[in-house]
Structure formats: structure tokens, C-alpha cells
A = this chain, B = another copy of it.
Amino acid sequence: MADATTTTADRRRPGGRSARVRAQVLDAVRAELTENGHEGLTVEGVATRAGVHRTTVYRRWRDVGGLLVDVIDAAGEIDWQPPDTGSLRGDLTALNEEIQESLLVRPSLALALMAASFHSEQAARAQTRLWDERYAQCEIVVERAVERGELPARHTDARSLLVAATAPVYHHLVLQRAEPDPRLPERSAVAAVRAAAAGAFSAD
């Protein structure tokens, strides 16, 4: 992935020209995506907006699919931490509120990336990896709940619990396209906590 136009000195230095070019290009991809959707995304448009030569973009990212994958991968690189409120219910509610906000902000990059991944197999695979990473990062929320004695010590499949808690928020806003429901983040969190307490996500 090193840019062939990058000098050796730049390559040695993290955060050098190569990193700067990537940041500029990915910012441009995000802006183009949220303004025009993935149908409006072109290597030329991205290069112009980023102020870099289009051959730089072609060389490093090859095509629109490559740009989409890198912008999704970059989302996985940010230093995100799941909420830590002191209770499972509080953590899952805060997580759902964060999700709801990312889907309601206009333009929504999260929505644009989901839409794009319907049309690019490469982007879809990158999205799957990003979901996996995010849910893996969230498992600490379940581990802390077990430590606090809020859940039985074993036999809770963290991923199933996290998906049950969060899926209704995505379902409501992304698929059903329903009016936002300010109570949904908490209701969905509470339902998952109760199901978990009743042993619904047993790992076996």
C-alpha cells in the first residue's frame, strides 16, 4: 500500500507524506460519499477534491472499490472505546444512542457505507470485518457485567447478546426507515439484558 511517489525518507517516517496523502484522500472519499452517495464516487472526483494527482490515487487504491475498502478499514483504525457507565443496561443504552446518532446525522457516513456495500463485494467484505472488530471491542461490556455479577459467570455468548441489543436500532433506522424513536436505544438494551438474565444467550 506504500505510494510509489513517496520518498524513502517519507516512508520511514510514520505520519509522513504517505500518511498525509492517505488522510487527504480518505477525507475526500468521505465527503464525496456523504454528498453524492457511492454512485457519484469517482477516482477523478476524489483526486480533485483531495488536491492530489489522480495517478497517485490510481496507483495506491486502483479504483472506487479500493477507496471504499480503505475508508471502511480506516473507520476500524480510530481509537474507539465502548461506553463504560457502570451497568450493562447503561452501557448498552449508551452504545445504542451512539449508533442511533451516527445513523441520524445528515449526511450519515455510516449509512452511505452500508449503501455502498450493497454494490461492491470488496466493500461488503470490509464492512463485515469492521462489524466483527466493533462487536469484538464491545465484548468487554459483557465481561464487565459478568464481573459485576449482573450476568451468570459462564454461558453468555457476548456477540449474540450485543447483536440482540443493537440490531433493532439498525433495523428501525436503516431497513424499516421508520421515524426515529427516542426510547428505542434504551428499550432495546433493556430487552437484551432481560433475555440475557433469563439465559437466552447461552454459549452452548
Main secondary structure of the interface of A (DSSP, over half): helix
In the bound assembly, the distance between CA atoms of A31 and B88 in angstroms comes to 46
Q: Which residues of B contact A124 (CB under 8 A)?
A: 177
B-binding segment of A6-14, A138-146, A168-176: A168-176
B-binding segment of A48-56, A59-67, A125-133: A125-133
Q: Does A104 contact B (CB under 8 A)?
A: no
Instruction: Select from chain B the residue with minimum beta-carbon distance to A160.
Output: B187
Q: Does A75 contact B (CB under 8 A)?
A: no
List, sorted by A's number, 15 A–B pairs whose CB atoms are closer than 8 Å: A114-B118, A115-B118, A131-B175, A131-B176, A131-B178, A160-B187, A164-B168, A170-B171, A175-B175, A187-B201, A191-B201, A192-B195, A194-B195, A195-B200, A198-B198
Query: Which residues of A are in contact with B by a Cβ distance under 8 Å?
Result: 37, 39, 111, 114-115, 117-119, 124-125, 127-128, 131, 160, 163-164, 166-168, 170-172, 174-178, 187-188, 190-192, 194-195, 197-201
